[in-house]
């Protein structure tokens, strides 16, 4: 374990390939999330009161434009990659052998399920347009 | 382990980053499922929204904001040191700068979240 963590984050993998790509992608998605998550929280928790964000508000107001649907889908893609690849490191730090394999499989399965249901709702939720 | 090990600021920065990261991951799992309910079971979503708007829910929302803000700022600090290793010498100062920014952004945001809390408690009119 010694030397694996410097004072910065996880040290850059020397092996190259997939692990190195994930290391760079964690930082790249992190930068994207810095903008997307903070603006998401600012808009939906500070500017608007979450208590008013009912299902019909989301369908008719929040997701009334392609821009916000695309914004939220991009946020979903970045956050799923960043969060699940991050928890993967945590799981690998505290487990080994069969427990690690089973936990990681369950983690990836959950990530895939969230990818599917999140994409489904943001792409298919109808805008119920109120009567003019 | 967190208090006994004399790792200093670097270790605390790492520990907080890990704890906030896992907490945000757990909320993301919940949040994707609740937004899925907007399409699959809108009434269930609206019921959940009432629970989120309780005083306890608003405290959790506030803690989520704190976790996100810490993780975002410290993540930027990690990126800066990864791609500009000379700055690793100043990792402590960068961490203190993080807390300065955390308070500068967090205090005004807390005021707004406290407004939601006060309304949920009936202290302020809706």
Q: Per residue in B75-109, pLDDT tens?
A: 999 999 999 999 999 999 999 999 999 999 999 99
CATH code of the domain in which B80 resides: 1.20.1300.10
How far, in Å, CA of A117 to CA of A10, rounded? 31
pLDDT confidence tier of residue A7, bands split at 50, 70 and 90: low
B20: confidence class by pLDDT, cuts 50, 70, 90:
very high
- Residue range A39-93, pLDDT digits in tens: 999 999 999 999 999 999 999 999 999 999 999 999 999 999 999 999 999 999 9
Residue from A42, A114, A110, A125 nearest A78 by CA = A114
CB contact residues (below 8 A), chain B span 22-61, against chain A: 22, 24-25, 28-29, 32-33, 35-40, 42-43, 45-46, 49, 52-53, 61
Is B108 inside a domain boundary? yes
What's the pLDDT score for residue B43?
Answer: 96
Query: Would you say A20 and A89 are in contact if contact means Cβ atoms under 8 Å apart?
Result: no
Contacts of B32 in chain A (CB under 8 A): 76, 80, 114, 117-118
What residues contact B69, with CB distance under 8 A and at least 6 apart? A38, B102, B105, B106, B109
Instruction: Calculate how close chain B gets to A60, using CA atoms only, in Å.
Output: 12
CB contact under 8 A, B32 and A76: yes
With respect to residue B64, please indicate whether it lies within any of the assigned structural domains: yes
Residue B87 domain-assigned (yes or no) = yes
Q: Quote the pLDDT of residue B94.
A: 95
Interface residue of A5, A36, A45 to substitute, partner B, most B CBs within 10 Å: A45
What pLDDT does B2 receive? 58
What pLDDT band is residue B3 in, cutting at 50, 70 and 90? low
In a domain, B2, yes or no: no
What is the interface pTM, i.e. ipTM, of the complex?
0.91
> Domains along chain A?
17-124 (1.20.1300)
Q: Which of B33, B75, B112 comes nearest A34 by C-beta?
A: B75
Eight-class DSSP state of A64:
S
**CB A24: neighbour CB atoms within 10 A?**
12
Q: Which domain does B115 fall in, by range? A: 8-121
Work out how many domains chain B is built from and give that number: 1
In angstroms, rounded to a whole number, what is the distance separating the alpha carbons of residues B71 and A62?
Answer: 26
- Tell me, what's the pLDDT at B49? 96
- Is B31 contained in some domain? yes
């Amino acid at each position: 374990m010694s030397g694996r963590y410097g004072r910065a984050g996880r040290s850059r993998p020397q092996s190259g390939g997939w692990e190195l790509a994930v290391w760079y992608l964690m930082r790249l998605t992190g930068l994207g999330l810095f903008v997307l998550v903070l603006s998401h929280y600012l808009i939906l928790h500070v500017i608007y009161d979450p208590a008013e964000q009912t299902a019909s508000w989301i369908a008719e107001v929040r997701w009334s434009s392609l821009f916000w649907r695309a914004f939220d889908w991009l946020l979903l893609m970045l956050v799923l990659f960043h969060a699940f690849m991050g928890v993967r490191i945590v799981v690998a730090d505290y487990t080994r052998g069969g427990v690690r394999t089973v936990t990681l499989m369950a983690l990836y399965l959950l990530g895939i399920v969230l990818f599917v249901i999140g994409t489904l709702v943001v792409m298919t939720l109808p805008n119920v347009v109120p009567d003019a | 382990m967190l208090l006994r090990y004399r790792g200093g600021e670097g270790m605390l920065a790492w520990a907080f980053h890990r704890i906030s990261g896992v907490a945000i991951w757990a909320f993301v799992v919940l949040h994707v499922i609740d937004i899925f309910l907007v399409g699959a079971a809108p009434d269930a979503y609206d019921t959940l929204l009432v629970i989120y708007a309780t005083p306890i829910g608003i405290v959790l929302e506030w803690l989520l904001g704190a976790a996100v803000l810490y993780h975002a700022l410290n993540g930027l600090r990690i990126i800066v040191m990864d791609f500009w290793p000379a700055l690793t010498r100043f990792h402590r100062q960068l961490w203190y700068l993080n807390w300065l920014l955390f308070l500068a952004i967090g205090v005004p945001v807390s005021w707004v979240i406290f407004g939601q809390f006060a309304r949920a408690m009936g202290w302020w009119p809706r």
